[in-house]
Structure 1
Amino acid sequence: MKRKYMMLSMLISGPKQPRNDIDIYLAPLIEDLKHLWDIGVEVYDGYREENFTLRALLFGTINDFPAYGNLSGYSVKGQCACPICEDDTTTMRLEHGQKNVFLGHRRFLPVGHRYRTWRKAFNGSAEQRLAPKGLSGADLFAKVRGLSCTFGKKFQKLLPKSGWKKRSIFFDLPYWKDLYVRHFLDVMHIEKNVCESVIGTLLNMPGKTKDNIKARKDLVSMGMRTELGPVKKGNRTYLPPAAYTLSRKEKIILCEFLEGVKVPEGFSSNIKNLVSMKDLKLKGLKSHDLHILMEYLLPVAIRSIFPKKVRHALMRLCFFFKAICRKVIDPQKLPRLQQEIVLTLCELEMYFPPSFFDIMIHLIVHLVKETLSCGPCYMRWMYPMERYMKILKGYVKNRSRPEGCIVERYMVEEAVEFCTDYLSNVNSIGLPKSRHSGRTEGEGIMGSKIFVVPTKEWEQAHLYVLHNTTEVEPYVLEHKNELMSLYSNRSDSWISKEHNRTFIQWLKHHISNKVDEDPSSVSERLRCLSYGPGIQVFSYTGYLINGCTFYTKAQDDRSVRQNSGVSLVAQSMHTSSCNDKNPIYANMSYYGVIEHIWELDYTKFRVPVFGCKWVDNQNGVRTDEMGFIQVDLNRVGYKDEPFILASQAQQVFFVSDPADKKLSIVLFTNKINNNIDDQYEEEIPTVDDPFVGMSQSLNNDSIGDDGYFMRDDHQEGIFIKKPLRFNVGQTTVQLNKKRRKTRK
C-alpha cells in the first residue's frame, strides 16, 4: 500500500467530521463504484496491444473504530458497542466508574472448560452461554433494509443510541451483502490502545491507568475481590496491592530495562528518550513505539517481576499480537491462536479490574476470525493511511485554506506523476526508494581504511569464501574424496580438519594445472578465487547490505543504536563423543557480534565478510520455558571460524535479561533479505508457534477457582490524598487528585 497507489477521491471540508451524515458525501463515490462493477471501463493493455473491460470491487473499508460506526451505521458506543456481537454483547455499567465494560469472555471457551464453572475468580457465577454468532451479510442487510434515517445535524438526536442507526450507503453496491467482512477492525489502533492500558496500569500513569479508587469501589459493589477495596487511613485512602500492582523496585527494574535498550537502525525510535526515570513513567509514545513495546520489549521487561501467573498472562497477550501481525500466517494454526487468546482474556479477567476491559480489549477476540476471512492484518491496518495523512497535512501552506492547499498540490503531483511514465531516468512519485535498494554486494559507509591482515586471519576469511561459493563446491567434494581415499581409516572429523588445512593450496595448484591444460575451462571468477585475495583488505566500521545497517562492536559502543548483532543458520557436524565415527549433519543457529568488517580484494571483484565473536552453542545458548533465546556473550566459541559472508548475516539485537544480568535475550529485527529480487519484506523469523512452551507450563499450573488477585510478596499499595477544596469568590475549586505509592 504505497503512496503511488492511493487516490484522494474525496475531501470533506470543515473543522468537524460529518459523523452519521458521511453517506451524503459518499454518494458520488458509490455511483462510480457501481459503474465499475456493473459496466466497467475500457482500458488499453500495452502488452497485448488491445482494449479490455476493467471491473473493480470494493474489498472493504479501512478505518479506526469511531469511523467504523459512521461508515457501517452501527453505534459503537454504549452497552452494545461491539458491531459483531451486537445485541448479544456481554456488557455492564460500572456504578462508580460510570463506564461500560465488556467482560464474559468465558462464553467463547469450549463447552466443558473448567473456567466456565469457576465463580470466585470471575464474577461470582458460572458461565453457561455459548459464544455469540455474528450475522451474515444477507441477514444483516435484511435487518437494516427497512431502517429510515434523516440526515442533518438537527436530526442527530432522533437517531437510536445503540444498535443499527441507518442502512449504510455501501449496501447500494450489489455485492456488499455477500462479503464476509465489510468494515475491517484496525489492528493498529487496537494494539495501541491495549498497550496504553497495560503500560498505564502497570506504571500507574495518571490518565492512563485503569486502577483507581473508583475501580476498587466497583469491585466492592460487585462483590468481587473485596479484599482489594479502598481503606481509609486518616486523610488518605489506601488501595491494597493487586496482582498487577508494581512495587517501586519493580518499576525501577522495568524502566531501567527500557532505558538501556538499543535497537538497530530503522527498527524503531530511540526507546531511551521515551523513559522518564524521575517519574518512572513512559512519555511521548507513538503508535509504532507501542507496537514495538507490545510485541518485542514488554515480554522481556516483565521477566523478573510479577508472580508467574500474571506474568505469563501478559506475555501471552503480547505473543498474540506478535503472531497476528505476521506477514505470513498459516490458516491451519489460526484456530489454535483463537483458543489461546480466549484463555488469555479469561486469565486477565482474574487479575485485572473490570474497568480494564473496555471495548478495545473485547475486540481482540474477533481478530482471528477476521484474519481467517481477509488475510494478514498488514493489508488492513492503518499505518499506510496514517503516513499518507502526514503527507497531506504537509501540503498545507495556508492554514486559513487547508482544503484548497491539499487539493491544489495533490492535482499538481498527480499530473507530474503521469508525466514521469514518459520521461527517462525519473523516479516515480510515491514509491519510496530505500538506500539499500539494488545493492547486492553492499557498501561501506564509515571508518574506511586499508591495512595488512595477519596470515591466520587471511586464511580463515579466504577459506570461508571458498566454502560458500557455488563454483568451488565441486572442488570441495573432490578434495574431500581424495583425502578419504588416501586416509580411509580416519574419521570424518579428522578428514574435515585436514581438508580445511590443505584446501587453499590444493585448489590453487589444481586450478593452475587446469588453466595450463585448457584456459577456457576455468572462469575468470574461479581463477581469481583460486589465487586468493590480496593481503591488504578494505576495513570499515559501518556497512550497508541486505537492507540493514551493520556496525562493528566498537562503533556500536559509541552509538545510540545497536547494529553489531548477527545470526547465522548453518549446517554443522554433531558428534556424541570424540570417538564417534558417524556424525550427524544438521542446521544450527549461531549468534554473535561483529568485530571486523572487511572487503577481500580478489582483483576483479571484492567480497565483504564479517569477522564475528560467536557465542559457544554448547554452554552459551539456551531456550527457556517461554521460548526466549538466552545467550551468554562472554562465552566465546568457534575462534577458528570467525568469518561469514556479509550477505549471509541476519541482523539481531541483544537486550539484557532482567531475570539474569549475565545473560542476554536475542530479539530478531523485522527484516529479512530475499536473494531473488533483492526486496526486503517485514517478517518475524522467530519460533513458529510462540505459545508452545507457555501453554505447557500453564496447563500444569496449580491455579484454582480462588484465583490470584492480591500481591503477597510486597505491601506497596497506592495512597490517594484527599482532594483539597477552597473557595474563590462564590466558586468552589477542587484540585486534581495526586497519586503516589509508598510502603504500607
Structure 2
Amino acid sequence: MRVALLWTISDFPAYSMLSGWSTAGKTACPYCRDDSDAFTLTKGGKQSWFDNHRKFLPVNHPFRRNKIAFRKNKTVTKSAPPILSSEEILEQIEHLGLMCVTDMGADENNDLQSKNTGWKRRSIFWDLPYWTTNMLRHNLDVMHIEKNVFENIFNTVMNVEGKTKDNAQSREDLKEYLRKLKNNVKNKAKVEGSICNAYLVEEASSFCAHYFEPHVNTRHRKVPRNDDTVEHMDEHLGNLSIFTHSGRPLGKGKVRYLTEQEFQAAQMYILLNCIEVKPYIDIFVNELHMANPNINDKQVDEKLEREFDKWFNKYVHNPSNNISSQFLKDLSKGPLRSVMCYNSYVVNGYKFHTKGYGSHRATMNSGVCIKGTNYSTNESDYYGQLIEVLRLEYPGLPIKRTVLFKCDWYEPFVLAIQAAQVNYSIYPSLKRDKDDWWAVFKIKARSVIDLPEQVNVTTPPAREEPFQEDEMEVPLIQIDDDDDQQQYLNDQNGVLVEINEEDVEDEEELELDSESDEECDDVYDSDTN
C-alpha cells in the first residue's frame, strides 16, 4: 500500500512549522515576502500588517486611490509581487543552504543563514519526489484562525490576566482612533456602551450600503452630481425604447390632468418618436399613397398629425394583423390623463429646472436645445425654455412611463431624452431692434469630455505661406472748399456722412492747441537747460 500527501491544512502559526516560512515579524506574509508594507507601531513596538495588501487589487480599483478608508492620505500604485513556482521556491531554499530540523547541526546553520530572509528552515516535505509538482501545498484552516482571533478579542475585552492585549503601549498607539470613538459618546455615564453602540451602527450602515440602489450616495460609492440613473428600472422582455430612457426627477411631484389638446399632442409626439412604431408609420404612409397617388408631402404630414394615432390603435388591435406585443397595444391606447409634474429633472448629464422654479435663482437651468429632424449644422437647432416636466404613465402592467418636457416653442412637448441644456444671455448690441435678442451658450454635460476626432494622416499637409498684402489701397476723400456748399464724405458702404463747418473749426482749434502745447514744452526744455 502506498500513501501520498496532497496538501496540509493548518492555522497560521502551524503553517510556519510545516512550510519553513516564518509567520512572525515584518515578512510574515508568504505572498508579499520581502516586498512587505508592514510597519512597526511606534509605542508598542509590534508589527502591523494593516493596509498591506491593496497592491494585489486591479490597477484601476477604487480602493487603491482611497485616502480615507485605509491609511490616511495614502494611495497605492505599486504592483503585487509575482507568485513563485515550486521550483523557484526550492531553488531559493537550496541557495540559502537551509537544512531540515532532523539534520545534525540544523539549528545553528539555519539561525546563521536565515537572518535576512523569511525562510527559517527546509521543510521535510521537499524530500517527497512529487512535492515540487503540487500546485497547492498548504491550506489555511479558517475555523482555527477565527477561533484565535476571537480568543484575542474576548481576552482583551474581558481583561483576562496574562492574555489581554490591552496595555499602556497599545493604548498610545490607538490614541488617535480612540479620539474618534470618544467623539461618538452621547451618554457620559455609559461611555463604553456609547462607543460600542456607535461602532455597531457604523458597521451595520456600511454593510447595508452595499445593497443600496446605484443612484444612492454612500460611503463606498460616490454618485456623480447629475447622475441620471433610472430609479426602479425593471427589465421586461419586449419593452419599448420609449419606456427605458434614463433620467430621474428631483423633489416631490404634483398630480394634474391633461387637457384634450395636451393629450393629443403628447400621444402623437410619443408615437412619432418611438423607434418600434416607425414600421407602422411607413405602412400608414404607403396606404395614403395607394389611396391618393397625387398626395404631396405636406398633406402626408397633416394626415399623420390628425389620423395616425387612431389608425395605429385599430391596426395593432386587429387580430388579422397578428400583433402580439402587449407594449404596442398599451402604447396605442395613449397615456393616462393624470400625470406627475416636477420642477427639476436630471437627464443626459444635465440638471434642468423649470422657468418658474428657477426664476429667483442666480443660475439658469431652464434653457433647452433640441436638434432638428434634418440636423446638419447648428443652425437647425431649436431653442426654448422649459415650462413643465411631465411624467406620463400608460395603462396595464408592467408599469410603463416616459417623461416629456413642455417648452415655449413651436411644439408643446419634446422627449426629455432629446433635450440638451443651453444658457441665454443678453445679446451684445446697442441697436433698438435687437433689445429682445438673446445670445445662446451651449453647456457641456458633467462627466463628458470632448475629444478631437482622430484623423489618420498618411502624408504631411502642404505648408501654406502666411497671407500678407504688399500694398493696400486707401480711398481718396475729396472735400470742396466752397463755404456755401455743404461737405460730404463718400463712405465705402454707400452712406453719405455730413461734415458741418463747426466740426471743421473744432478740429482746427484742436490742432492749434496741440501746436501751442508743443511750443510750451520746447520753452520749458530750454529753460531747464
Shorter-chain TM-score range: 0.3 to 0.5
Tell me the TM-score normalized by structure 1.
0.30
Tell me the TM-score normalized by structure 2.
0.42
Q: Which has the higher strand share?
A: 1
